[in-house]
Structure 1
Amino acid sequence: MNVHSPARSTVEDDIALFRRVRAAMPELAKGLSVEDLAAQSMPDCSPGKWHLAHTSWFFEAMILSREPDYRPVDPRWQTLFNSYYEALGERVERPERGLMTRPSLDEVTAYRREIDRRMIRWLGQGEMDARSRYLFTLGLNHDQQHQELFLMDMLHLMSRSPLEPAAYDREPRSGPVEPARGGETVFAGGLVEIGHDAAGFAFDNEGPRHKVWLEPYALADDLVSNGDWMRFMADGGYTRPELWLSDGWATVKTEGWTAPLYWSRDGESWRVMTLAGPRAVDADAPVRHVSLYEADAYARWAGKRLPTEAEWEHAARTRPDVLSNLFGEVWQWTASAYAPYPGFAPTEGTASEYNGKFMANQVVLRGGAFATSEGHARATYRNFYYPHQRWAFTGLRLAWDQPSESARVTDDESAGFRDDLIAGLSRSPKRTSPKWFYDAAGSDLFEAITRLPEYYPTRQEAALLRAVAPDWAARFGPGATMVEFGSGASEKTRIVLDAAPDLAGYVPIDI
């Protein structure tokens, strides 16, 4: 569901939207045991119970607590469910969240219901200023982020059990995987703009919009597949240090990586742990759960590279139709460090800690995963993880440099040509603007057409010019400059130039 707040929304719209977003995580928790929701499988993960509580705490801490004389549901829980907001006081560090057996799941569920009740009452007042509106929409997007984190953490937890339990009967996803299309798309690059343009909601790290210079480049139309990855592995991908960054190779040796996370041998085949339990690896499906180190090594093995985030966004804005699984399958690693854009300013107040303080030693991912809530991702969205992390739903799309002399115009100008052509051919009578014919090849073709016996206009125009050129030359006078609009190849103009040797200059102008 799309949580971008409209320019004008009614109280009823806000309440309905709040209820829809808040219903999603309890639905994901339905069917899981109390034990499933209380356990923590590694320091980077959090228990499901904690996600249920923290997303409620966020609305209480960021919105409800700003009300005069507000009384928290339980002041002690401000410490338990604070994630990383130093301005709000002490907190339980993430590696120890699984040690919190109290409050119970029932108490957390009751806390969530109470926060929802208070938020609906607050929304019913219908008195949101611009800042409150932003924080409300931020809270909805924050909730959706944790819905995906809930699934990431639950998958990791299930993978740690020798029983290999399935968290769900089928994988929760917002839409089907798109089939591979094959091929590549070339982008001319140039001076482009990236970043959010302030229309609708965005996290503060998505702006401000700014200009970036891109050299010509190409992107693979498809994500790297499991089959592609198996060929990398078969060629010794995890045993060849020349393919790896230094820190990546050290991680491979320390962690003993030989395949993506959750893969294991099943005789001569591979299988993978999923949210629906163990499955045979589908060679055609996009590869998941690879780190930046692995993605970079694969790209080097393939003779390609990872795209920069500017290249990815420019492609997503100008040619989203040609790139399969741009959103909705895996977050795609880029070659860009997670850093502030020029002119970046964090959100004012406590929410200033949401993104900006993490802008060091992490790498940007673009796109969106199958577990990303519908409508949550967008072309400007900047996800980020450390280069060694791979429990997120991450994959990759390859890029490579394109020599300038062979770069095809496939972005803005191509989109304009496509739109004009569709509009013209949809009319009756059909028409096409001649401006699209006159590139270098089109001009040469037209000049060849003018020399055909069947094309009389050029011969007739030349005959007329020979007749009038002497009279024109007499009227020019000495020192005149002749400016010709629509000069083309200027072949007929030579007739006039030969008749007027006293001209000071000639300026041909054409598209």
Structure 2
Amino acid sequence: MLTDEQLRDRIAVDLERARRRTATLTDAVDDGELVAQHSPLMSPLVWDLAHIGNQEELWLLRDVGGRDPLLPETVDELYDAFRNARSARPALPLLEPEPSRSYVRDVRGRVLDLLEKVPFGRRALTRDGFAFAMIVQHEQQHDETMLATHQLRAGAPVLSAPPPPPGRTGLPDEVFVPGGPFEMGTDLEPWALDNERPAHAVEVPAFWLDTVPVTNARYLRFVEDGGYDDPRWWSPEGWAHRQQAGLVAPQFWSRDGGQWQRRAFGRLEPLVPDEPVVHVCWYEADAYARWAGRRLPTEAEWEKAARHDPVSGRSRRYPWGDDDPSPERANLGQRHLRPAPVGAYPAGAAPSGAEQLIGDVWEWTSTTFDGYPGFRAFPYREYSEVFFGPKHRVLRGGSFGADLAAVRGTFRNWDYPIRRQIFSGFRTARDAEPDQLTEEV
């Protein structure tokens, strides 16, 4: 358990890492591109920048610190994500780039002063530094959103990163996860968000799960077998969307003669066969799984494969154990700007034998987004509860664009099943045979 001083130091480090990344993403383009809308699905980058500062001010300076607003109250309305749809944000009287930068700098300076003296534990919002951690996670989530905007942006490359580590061959196609109960969710993770709580026992029948995410090479077989032209593999809703949207391959794929290629952050490159496929929507993942004679895992199956330790019977924080992610265990934090080849992170394997469950690509599950039994919204309904229902599907595990502060074995992401500008991939599952249904097998 951290002392208050250690906790303050950790929060300060996390805040600085997030802000460094925000600066990288917003300083990489000129002011004209900062205020432009690169896709109707996304905000102008300058909106995300000032929104980050506004949320930090609202929760930390005003709620925790009791301070008065720094700017006119109309600014709160401009950067209210629920009041203003992404497609409408360019028409708003937003702060210009330099005032936006000045605003977030001013807020951060005051927040660091507040961090030095705020008492932890007096309120639920500040216990274990939760409010500060919530803001760190919020900024890192918007950084990943801005990274997706960079992927949608046209023009010359402006971001760069070293290549990921090499993969390895010889992995089994799938791993067996015995049936039985496990503890899903958490009561112990102090910075977990409301939809990750409470911990509860879930009975999961035995199943088989892909050892690694589905690769470009495997997905290409589906494409070249006519998978996009055969309604047998698509749900009725998926087939209707495939036709209406004109889907023929994952987003950013194209064919040049007989060669498939992919555009990644302004660079056109040959498809890398052993990288996880990325930028597929839920309907595409579901269709591939049906074509392969398999299915998408449920959210509970995914979490059991990632966290359950059959020896101790407990659920780990991460697939590899309770230690925080490291570069040897997972591809996170925009370190490589792409998924790593499968087999690149043996140190990140789960007890089930599954690998790359954290980082690389968000993984679609078959589960619709809802609260766990006993769910309580905290600290506001708009974080999770307003999204509950059949319209959203759960994604798990994080991506190369997610930060370690915003990814855990219990962390839950969600989106519409048509979305594919996100860094989304998947792995498939199948039911076990009747003689393989318990832990004792």
Whole-Å separation in 2 of the counterparts to 1:355 and 1:286:
28
Whole-Å separation in 1 of the counterparts to 2:356 and 2:405:
15
The letter for the 1-side match of 2:157 is A
Give the corresponding residue for 1:274: 264
Give the corresponding residue for 2:70: 72
What SS class does the counterpart of residue 362 from structure 1 fall into?
Answer: strand
Give the corresponding residue for 2:378: 347
Whole-Å separation in 2 of the counterparts to 1:61 and 1:30:
24
Whole-Å separation in 2 of the counterparts to 1:407 and 1:275:
45
Task: Note the C-alpha offset of 1:273.
Answer: 1.2
What SS class does the counterpart of residue 127 from structure 1 fall into?
Answer: coil
Q: Is the 8 A contact 2:35 2:90 kept in 1?
A: yes
Q: Trace 1:160-175 onto structure 2 (pairs within 5 A).
A: 164-170=155-161
The letter for the 2-side match of 1:131 is L
Q: Is the 8 A contact 1:65 1:72 kept in 2?
A: no
Q: Is the 8 A contact 1:186 1:407 kept in 2?
A: no
The letter for the 2-side match of 1:239 is D
Whole-Å separation in 2 of the counterparts to 1:343 and 1:404:
33
Task: Note the C-alpha offset of 1:124.
Answer: 2.2
The letter for the 1-side match of 2:150 is M
The letter for the 1-side match of 2:151 is L
Q: Is the 8 A contact 2:281 2:424 kept in 1?
A: yes
Give the corresponding residue for 2:149: 153
Task: Note the C-alpha offset of 1:120.
Answer: 1.3
Q: Does residue 1:315 correspond to 2:309, yes or no?
A: no
Q: Is the 8 A contact 2:281 2:418 kept in 1?
A: yes
Flag the 1:179–1:152 CA change in 2: closer, same or farther, 3 A.
Answer: farther
Q: Relative contact order: is structure 1 or structure 2 higher (C-alpha 8 Å, sep ≥ 6)? A: 2
Match of 1:358 among 369, 384, 387: 387
Task: Note the C-alpha offset of 1:401.
Answer: 0.2
Q: Deviations over 1:109-165 (max 9, x none)?
A: 01111111111121122323341232111111111111111101221123xxxxx42
Task: Note the C-alpha offset of 1:177.
Answer: 6.8
The letter for the 1-side match of 2:56 is F
Whole-Å separation in 1 of the counterparts to 2:199 and 2:67:
39
Q: Does residue 1:229 correspond to 2:219, yes or no?
A: yes
The letter for the 2-side match of 1:25 is T
Whole-Å separation in 1 of the counterparts to 2:105 and 2:72:
14
Give the corresponding residue for 1:419: none
Matched residues, number: 392
Q: Is the 8 A contact 2:178 2:436 kept in 1?
A: no
Match of 1:131 among 116, 119, 125: 125
Q: Does residue 1:82 correspond to 2:80, yes or no?
A: yes
Flag the 1:94–1:276 CA change in 2: closer, same or farther, 3 A.
Answer: closer
Whole-Å separation in 1 of the counterparts to 2:417 and 2:10:
40
Whole-Å separation in 1 of the counterparts to 2:249 and 2:18:
36
Q: Trace 1:47-446 onto structure 2 (pairs within 5 A).
A: 47-66=44-63, 67-68=65-66, 70-84=68-82, 91-100=83-92, 102-128=94-120, 129=122, 130-132=124-126, 133-158=129-154, 164-170=155-161, 176=165, 178-179=167-168, 181-318=171-308, 320=319, 321=349, 322-348=353-379, 351-360=380-389, 361-407=391-437, 409=439
Comparing 134-143 with 40-49, greater Cα deviation is found at 40-49
Aligned-pair identity in percent equals 33
Q: Is the 8 A contact 2:14 2:405 kept in 1?
A: no
Flag the 1:53–1:177 CA change in 2: closer, same or farther, 3 A.
Answer: farther
Whole-Å separation in 2 of the counterparts to 1:209 and 1:94:
34
Structure-1-length-normalised TM-score: 0.73
Flag the 1:77–1:194 CA change in 2: closer, same or farther, 3 A.
Answer: same
The letter for the 2-side match of 1:151 is L
Q: Is the 8 A contact 2:206 2:436 kept in 1?
A: no
The letter for the 2-side match of 1:295 is A
Q: Which has the larger radius of gyration?
A: 1
Give the corresponding residue for 1:43: 40
Task: Note the C-alpha offset of 1:406.
Answer: 3.5
What SS class does the counterpart of residue 228 from structure 2 fall into?
Answer: coil
What SS class does the counterpart of residue 394 from structure 2 fall into?
Answer: strand
Q: Is the 8 A contact 2:279 2:421 kept in 1?
A: yes
Structure-2-length-normalised TM-score: 0.84
Whole-Å separation in 1 of the counterparts to 2:394 and 2:2:
28
Q: Is the 8 A contact 1:367 1:377 kept in 2?
A: yes
Q: Which structure dedicates a bigger proportion of its chain to helix? A: 1
Task: Note the C-alpha offset of 1:20.
Answer: 2.7
Whole-Å separation in 2 of the counterparts to 1:306 and 1:100:
40
Whole-Å separation in 2 of the counterparts to 1:179 and 1:57:
45
Task: Note the C-alpha offset of 1:269.
Answer: 0.9
Flag the 1:37–1:29 CA change in 2: closer, same or farther, 3 A.
Answer: same
What SS class does the counterpart of residue 212 from structure 1 fall into?
Answer: strand
Q: Deviations over 1:314-355 (max 9, x none)?
A: 01013642222111100001011101111100004xx33111
Whole-Å separation in 1 of the counterparts to 2:424 and 2:168:
18
Whole-Å separation in 2 of the counterparts to 1:325 and 1:51:
29
Whole-Å separation in 1 of the counterparts to 2:280 and 2:10:
40
The letter for the 2-side match of 1:80 is L
Runs of 5+ consecutive residues of structure 1 not aligned to the other structure: 85-90, 159-163, 414-438, 440-511
Give the corresponding residue for 2:328: none
What SS class does the counterpart of residue 271 from structure 1 fall into?
Answer: strand
Whole-Å separation in 2 of the counterparts to 1:338 and 1:207:
13
Give the corresponding residue for 2:28: 31
- Kindly report the root-mean-square deviation, in angstroms, between the aligned alpha carbons of the 2 structures: 2.1
Task: Note the C-alpha offset of 1:281.
Answer: 0.9
Q: Is the 8 A contact 1:182 1:222 kept in 2?
A: no
Comparing 323-332 with 386-395, greater Cα deviation is found at 323-332
